[in-house]
Amino acid sequence: MTERRLIGRTAAPGLASGRVAVIGTEQTVRRVAGAPADEAQTLRRAIAATLAEVTTLAGSANGEAADMLGFQVALLSDDELARPALAAIAGGASADSAWMAAMGAEIAGYGAAEDENFAARTADLEDIRDRVCAHMAPGGADAAIPDGAVVVGADLPLSRFLSIDWRRGGAIVLTRGSPSSHVAMLARARKVPMVVGLGGSPEALAGHEALVDAGAGEVVLTPDAATRVRFEARRGTAAVAAAALDTWRDGPGVTADGTRVAVHLNVGDPAELDGLDPAICDGIGLVRTELLFHGTAGLPDEAAQYEVYRRIAAWADGRPVTIRTLDAGGDKPIPGVTVDDESNPFLGLRGIRLSLRHPDLFRTQLRALARAAVHGEVRIMLPMVTIPAELEAARRMLDESISDLARDCVPARRPMLGIMVEVPAAAIAIDRFDADFFSIGSNDLTQYVTAAARDIGTVAELADPLNPAVLRLIAVVARHGREVGRDVSLCGDAGGEPKLVAHLLHAGLRSLSVAPAALARAKQAIAGTDLRHPPP
């Protein structure tokens, strides 16, 4: 057969080869309608069985994976999801045809959304649709994916991704999909090459041998001998480069002119630290505690939170651990906590605004953090701070929590209390905030300064951390930190991007916090920066 080259978009870079395995999406209708009461019972049982499956899967997942599966659990737990299908069943439709029609309308609504994060939820809805149908029609589930296969589909549900053992190789190629989808985030974290937006029909790729250069967004079907040779050469070169990059991980962050730069880690789950030596970093610059609040057993109590924070502090072995209080809202809703149907959730009740509206929830977290501070240098960081009154209100609640712990004879220590600088109002008037330290959230700061969301493709280029307005605000905050003797760090994605590191350091930053997977390349970029000369 003739070699074919297809071009899509990079979602997770990497090189892989293998035989194409096409995953199905839509299930076909198999049932003949019975009595409406029986059909309704069939649908309810199928939904309950699917909820049990996804709940079990969520319980065995960690970090962002558990967070993402929580969305499916919340949907399946909501009676409103099945209401249109039950209405159709009452009118004489079969359980599966009614379910398919109802979910088709729901999926179409999500898919038409302008917000790319919202549209990316269609894969979750398709997964729910197909799982419920499989319980109503035995044998409807997809076949197992062979080890090392190039998985091809219109989209890939999160649960399907988690069911595949990626340690044995393989890649993901989607005709639709999004680089900002949940699966894309996990693929990058697990180093699974992934290409999206290829177009066409997944079935047209079935059975072919495929070479995937996800960094270039390229897929070659039925490659000839010369193409295979060139591909293997690229794979060998990439392996050598990855090994060379790893040598930077264990050393300190030092610029070419000898300036020391602290490099910390961003984590969302203690499991991310398993197998890592704390000596590779200067501490933990960001712990995303909102991921603890997406489990299926309800909101975590003080004891559960304390144990997680204590474990991270113990791992750090005396190094500072900065733990962000609940940063829910925006694109991170939590049932029973966040506000449903806000017209603009990114500008709504999120971060510290939400915590102050739920004082009992906030006090529980502050108590757990103060208790964990006995075991290490724990610092508390408040997200989405806009005015000094929010910092002062949180400080009063922290003091009250520590007093309560002392009265109860519970060991505790007062942590340092700092703020994230991600709202332009805080960055511009940073001298108004009497925080113990400052940490710049480059993702939201860039989004708000440029009025452009990174995850909306039509304006993504405008959401540029190198925009002079963004860099000037970073410089303002860094200069203020030096003047008042307070630590200033950056914990957004920008710190892990090599092309941005030199600009951040020239803006005055001397502390960065990055994902564990970005640690080596961040240190390499620091070493390649000479602060005696402006960045190119």
The question of whether 281 is a catalytic residue gets the answer: no
One-character DSSP codes across 160-180: HHHTS-GGG--EEEESS--TT
318-336 b/e (C-beta count within 10 Å ≥ 16 → b): ebbbbbbbbbbbbebbbbe
* Distance from C-alpha of 142 to C-alpha of 139, rounded to nearest angstrom: 8
Q: Give the DSSP H/E element, type plus range, for residue 479.
A: helix 468-484
Q: Are the beta carbons of 161 and 183 closer than 8 angstroms?
A: yes
Alpha-carbon radius of gyration of the chain = 25
Alpha-carbon distances of 523 from 319, 474, 534, rounded to whole Å: 18, 20, 19
Among the listed residues 135, 281, 358, 491, the single catalytic one is 491
Q: Give the DSSP H/E element, type plus range, for residue 123.
A: helix 122-136
Q: Whose CA is closest to 282, among 530, 498, 520, 513? A: 513
* Distance from C-alpha of 477 to C-alpha of 466, rounded to nearest angstrom: 16
Q: Are the beta carbons of 172 and 190 closer than 8 angstroms?
A: no
The one-letter code for the residue type at 13 is: P
The question of whether 491 is a catalytic residue gets the answer: yes
* Distance from C-alpha of 491 to C-alpha of 439, rounded to nearest angstrom: 6
CB atoms closer than 10 angstroms to residue 168:
11
3-state secondary structure 218-244: EEEECCCHHHHHHHHHHHHHHHHHHHH
Query: What one-character DSSP code corresponds to residue 112?
Result: T
C-alpha atoms less than 13 angstroms from C-alpha of 439 in its C-beta half-sphere = 32
148-167 b/e (C-beta count within 10 Å ≥ 16 → b): bbbbbbbbbbbbbbbebebe
Q: Are the beta carbons of 121 and 110 closer than 8 angstroms?
A: yes
CA 37 from chain centre, in angstroms, equals 42
Among the listed residues 135, 182, 358, 503, the single catalytic one is 182
Indicate which residues carry an active-site annotation.
182, 491
